[in-house]
Structure 1
Amino acid sequence: MIASLLGLASALSWGTGDFAGGLASRKIGSYRAVMFSLAIGLIFTLAALPIIHETFPDKHTLLWSSIAGIVGAIGLLALYEGLRRGRLSVVAPLSALLGAAVPIVAGVFVDGQPQPIIFLAFALALIAVVLISIEKSSDTFSESVRNYLHLPLISGLGFGFYFVLMHEASRDLVLGPIIIARSSGTIAIALFLLIKRESFRIESGSWHLLIISGLFDVGGNALYILAGQAGRLDISAVLSSLYPGMTVFLAWFILKEKIQFSQWAGIGLALVAIVLMTTA
């Protein structure tokens, strides 16, 4: 029960952070939004070190956390770019489906073949992908969706592998793996910006979104790690992947983003598919 509650809390936190980060990416671009969001989250985590005392991470934690940070940064970058170019209610659920599926597949090698209900969940997920991607009343994939559909797919794979890598890195620690992961991710994005000779300048009207994004994103990370320590990898990862529900709700409530009936049905099926995965 504790692991499930922590996983759901992680989803709420991540969903809020992604909503703010998506809005920030529309103002300043995806690369800068991701880099500053990671950096701000790193500052919040470092500030917690004097309060929460942990042992120094070993080589195993350092290696897995560093790789996880780079993979996670790629996933977050793809998500923010998708949120910048497309609809929040389409991008976030598709990303979450793959993010939930990767830990399930990884669990096959650890716990054996999934139960039949998992196959049902994947079938619902495929139907959800089709429904969520329909924007026009003609019930066909719109050209705009096809133009950015690859981004949530890349994002989902990045998050899925991030879930697995961070679970391996955070057996006993919480802050240490987060600090290492966010450091490697921030450095990777910063180097990329330097190579591209992109500006690091941030408009004053974007800072509040970046702070919200960084705070809630690192909160989601901490809650996910605690959920994984309290329960199974697949359970904590899949429940954490419910974050699109929060993102879509905020897009509808704050941005007044219209969602068609077919998309509501697809979003509902996506969430049902994710929940079904936790019952295996």
Structure 2
Amino acid sequence: MSALALGLIAALCWGFHDICVRFLSQKTPLTGCIFVVLVTGLVFHLGLMGVTGDIHALSTTAIWLSLGAGVFFVIATFGLYHAFKRGPVRLVAPLIASYPILSVAVATWQGTPISLLQWGAVLAIVIGVGLVAALSDDGEDAAPSFGPTILFSVISACGFAGTFALGQAAADISGEMSTTLVTRLMAVGLVVVILLMFKQPFWPGRPALPCLVAMGVADGVALYCVLSAGALPDAQYASVTSSMFGLLTIVLAWMFLKERMTLPQWTGCIIAFMGVGILAI
């Protein structure tokens, strides 16, 4: 399977995950949601390793890269949950989905040749998703101040870019299953420390559990897809196409949360999908 296809699968999973975040965050403790989703993702990954038997010894470099990816993943997760809690989706999703620019920039810095056409495709994806937000009519929407919302969204975007850069580098050295396990163990351990330090709740409440478990599985599939692309040609495009989750989240919010979707926003959708099509050539 190509890096592009893995990125699209990740986008579908994260689109589902994020619309659930927006829905649950209005009535469920955020820290409890984060803890259950990350633990579920870890259990899912352990089960996947048991089924496939894909277990490899890790080099010291791969371990450090995987631990770093775990730290960035926690940063991305807290930023994402807080941003989606504040909303609206059409502001938050495009900002978080802007991380491909950082991912491709890192690939360029590492010496990977990126053509002007490929850069144009990346920009088309980000601009298309951005148009969905920038051209929306939200005059009647009640939302908190946009300043902190934008800050949380940008923090999340930087966290995802760091997660994918370090995670893919580790997977390229020692295999994606084992390195992703280290990343997930680090993420869960760090979240436990944070919640204990700040005396935050671990339990989200019984009614939210089924949805949170489904979110954890979706997150597990998505992260595995993006990090496993590290051993494939053009690995950075998994990060790029997975950013389509922002677009899918907006569409899902339009379908199920009744957020408005205007004709200019649909135009942004078409532009973004054209960018994906160019990368697929």
* Band the TM-score falls in, shorter-chain normalisation: 0.7 to 0.9
Which segments of structure 1 move beyond 6 Å, counting only runs of 4 or more?
Answer: none
TM-superposed CA distance for 1:257, in Å, is 2.2
- C-alpha distance in 1, partners of 2:165/2:74? 15
Please show how residues 93-172 of structure 1 align to structure 2 within 5 Å: 93-97=94-98, 99-111=99-111, 114-117=114-117, 120=120, 125=126, 129=130, 132-133=133-134, 135-136=136-137, 144-171=145-172, 172=174
Name the structure 1 match of 2:213.
211
1:198 is matched by which residue type in structure 2?
Q
Q: Is the 8 A contact 1:88 1:251 kept in 2?
A: yes
The answer to whether the 8 Å contact 1:103/1:233 transfers is no
Q: Match for residue 25 of structure 2?
A: 25
TM-score of the superposition, structure 1-length normalised?
Answer: 0.85
Change over 3 Å in CA distance of 1:119–1:169 after alignment to 2: closer
CA, structure 1 residues 108+271, in 2 after alignment: closer, same or farther (shift >3 Å)? same
- Cα 1:176–1:123 change in 2 (3 A) is closer
State the SS of the aligned residue for 1:199. Answer: coil
Cα pair distance change 1:51/1:157, threshold 3 Å: same
The normalised TM-score by structure 2 is: 0.85
179 and 26 in structure 1: CA distance in 2 versus 1, 3 angstrom threshold: farther
| Residue 164 of structure 2 is aligned to residue 195 of structure 1 | no
Q: Distance in 2 between matches of 1:162 and 1:221?
A: 9
% identity of equivalent residues = 23
Match for 1:167: what amino acid?
Q
User: Does the 8 Å CA contact 1:69/1:181 hold for their aligned counterparts?
Assistant: yes
Deviation at 1:112, TM superposition (A): 5.5
Q: Distance in 2 between matches of 1:136 and 1:249?
A: 15
Task: Kindly report which structure 2 residues correspond to 1:56-67, keeping only aligned pairs within 5 A, or say none.
Answer: 56-67=57-68
1:51 matches 2:16: no
The separation in 1 between residues aligned to 2:82 and 2:8, in whole angstroms, is 25
For residues 48-67 of structure 1, give each alpha carbon's deviation from its aligned partner in whole angstroms, at most 9, with x where no partner exists: 23222212323222111111
Q: Distance in 2 between matches of 1:137 and 1:52?
A: 48
SS of residue in 2 equivalent to 1:200:
coil
> CA–CA distance in 2 between the matches of 1:58 and 1:264?
47
State the alpha-carbon separation in 1 of the partners of residues 138 and 181 from structure 2: 46
Q: Give 1:91's aligned residue.
A: 92
Deviation per CA, 1:147-167: give whole Å up to 9, x if none.
412222111111111110110
Letter of the 1:149 counterpart:
I
State the number of aligned residues. Answer: 275
Q: Name 2:244's counterpart in structure 1.
A: 242
Deviations 1:112-139, CA, capped at 9 Å, x for gaps: 664333554576546864661455467x
Separation (CA, whole Å) in 2 of partners of 1:251 and 1:201:
26
Distance in 2, matches of 1:63 and 1:155, equals 21
The gaps in structure 1 that reach 5 residues or longer are none
Q: Does 1:254 align with 2:256?
A: yes
